[in-house]
């Protein structure tokens, strides 16, 4: 019988791409999302892209902190596992509004874990982040590196990781996989779903994409005095569809005995600078991206990229797409949906 997966935050960027792969992989998928940073149109499009499998998708507009609503959902459906994406993710906003972040991300997760435990569903894949490596002393980052957090957003990731380790220590029936994503970019090759952040994008590629479609005049480059090949920050960009497949690999891993609580990096293992990324996007789009060089962004690291050995060895997962593929698909999505899922006047 088809397995049924609950996906929290499934209307969001990584969630929508993962839900599509789940459906195509034959999973029955239930999404809960409060649509705080997403649109139900993404769910409709995923359903269309999934063709006949689209009928195995249902959506519930629920905030994770609404325990009675979650209880009701778990009473009505037996979930085989949960993929937990739901959370707020803007670093700057988390510094301004730490209680909002602790409440949304941590209280939301605790509520989810309590309801899961009460209903005997003890398998979860959680979206952590390379942010827990801070400014690493050496690269590539392996899963054993010391963990730090430079801001409230990062602390929510770190605390939730620790909460997961604690629940496993207290009850060995739990099977938990913590996935530390590096820098997800790109979009599904159809150009029908992609990233559509509300407000001014914090991350590099959504900003570049908005410059390319004329919504913003120029990209501000945060620092060109780093000790890197061209002075700009280096990151490990990974195609969102590769990440989506990483979640299927994690679900398969949860089926093995004695998983406990395991952590995996999801990245490509390759570092790319801001200027290299901009050049690749210009090549893919044929658009010039005007640049304004500015000072470093507080809290930014110099060079961060993943060691992918553990995920390759234990999840049998390896990223397939390169930077050119990522930029091609990002541009395909941006050019077809210059204002994302929303109307033009909602998009500033």
The verdict on 13 binding ligand NAD (CB under 6 A) reads yes
Segment lying near ligand NAD (by CB under 6 A), choices 33-41, 48-56, 279-287, 295-303: 33-41
Nearer to ligand NAD, 49 or 64 (CB): 64
Q: Are 151 and 110 in contact (CB under 8 A)?
A: no
H or E element: which one contains 292? strand 291-294
Give contact residues for ligand UD1 (rule: CB under 6 A).
89, 91, 129, 131, 153-154, 183, 202-204, 207, 219-222, 233, 235, 274, 297, 299-300
The verdict on 59 binding ligand NAD (CB under 6 A) reads no
The verdict on 236 binding ligand NAD (CB under 6 A) reads no
- Which of 21, 29, 38, 265 binds ligand NAD (CB under 6 A)? It is 38
Under DSSP, is residue 60 helix (H, G, I), strand (E, B) or coil?
strand
The verdict on 266 binding ligand NAD (CB under 6 A) reads no
Catalytic residue, from 13, 133, 153, 305: name it: 153
CA distance 158 to 277: 28
CA distance 290 to 50: 38
CA distance 25 to 46: 13
- Which of 9, 134, 152, 186 binds ligand NAD (CB under 6 A)? It is 9
Residue 237 catalytic?
no
Q: Which residues contact 270 (CB under 8 A, 6 or more apart)?
A: 236, 305
Nearer to ligand UD1, 72 or 283 (CB): 283
Total residues interacting with ligand NAD, rule: CB under 6 A: 28
Q: Binding mask 173-202 vs ligand NAD (x if CB under 6 A, - otherwise)?
A: --------x-xx------------------
Q: Are 11 and 38 in contact (CB under 8 A)?
A: yes
Q: Which residues contact 140 (CB under 8 A, 6 or more apart)?
A: 269, 305, 306, 307, 308
């Amino acid at each position: 019988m088809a397995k049924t997966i609950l996906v929290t935050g499934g209307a969001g960027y990584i969630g929508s791409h993962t839900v599509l792969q789940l459906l195509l992989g034959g999973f029955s998928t239930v999404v809960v999302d409060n649509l705080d940073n997403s649109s139900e149109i993404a769910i409709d499009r995923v359903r269309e892209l999934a063709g006949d499998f689209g009928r195995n998708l249902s959506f519930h507009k629920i905030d994770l902190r609404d325990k009675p609503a979650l209880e009701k959902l778990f009473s009505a459906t037996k979930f085989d596992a949960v993929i937990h994406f739901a959370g707020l993710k803007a670093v700057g906003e988390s510094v301004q509004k730490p209680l909002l972040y602790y409440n949304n991300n941590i209280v939301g997760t605790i509520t989810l874990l309590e309801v899961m435990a009460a209903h005997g569903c003890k398998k979860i894949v959680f979206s952590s982040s390379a942010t827990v490596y801070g400014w690493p002393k050496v690269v590539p980052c392996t899963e054993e590196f010391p963990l730090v957090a430079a801001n409230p957003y990062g602390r929510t990731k770190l605390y939730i990781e620790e909460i997961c380790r604690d629940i496993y220590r207290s009850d060995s029936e739990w099977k938990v996989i913590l996935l530390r994503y590096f820098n997800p970019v790109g979009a599904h090759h159809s150009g029908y779903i992609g990233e559509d952040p509300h407000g001014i994008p914090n991350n590099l590629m959504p900003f570049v994409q908005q410059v390319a479609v004329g919504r913003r005049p120029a990209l501000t480059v945060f620092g060109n005095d780093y000790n890197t090949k061209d002075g700009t920050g280096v990151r490990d960009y990974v195609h969102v569809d590769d990440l989506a497949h990483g979640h299927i690999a994690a679900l398969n891993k949860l089926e093995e005995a004695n998983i406990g609580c395991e952590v995996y990096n999801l990245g490509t293992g390759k570092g790319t600078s801001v200027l290299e990324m901009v050049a690749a996007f210009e090549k893919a789009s044929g658009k010039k991206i005007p640049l304004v060089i500015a000072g470093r962004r507080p809290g930014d690291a110099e060079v961060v990229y993943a060691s992918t050995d553990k995920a390759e060895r234990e999840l049998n997962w390896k990223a397939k797409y390169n930077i050119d593929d990522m930029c091609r698909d990002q541009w395909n999505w941006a050019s077809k949906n210059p204002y994302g899922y929303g109307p033009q006047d909602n998009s500033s």
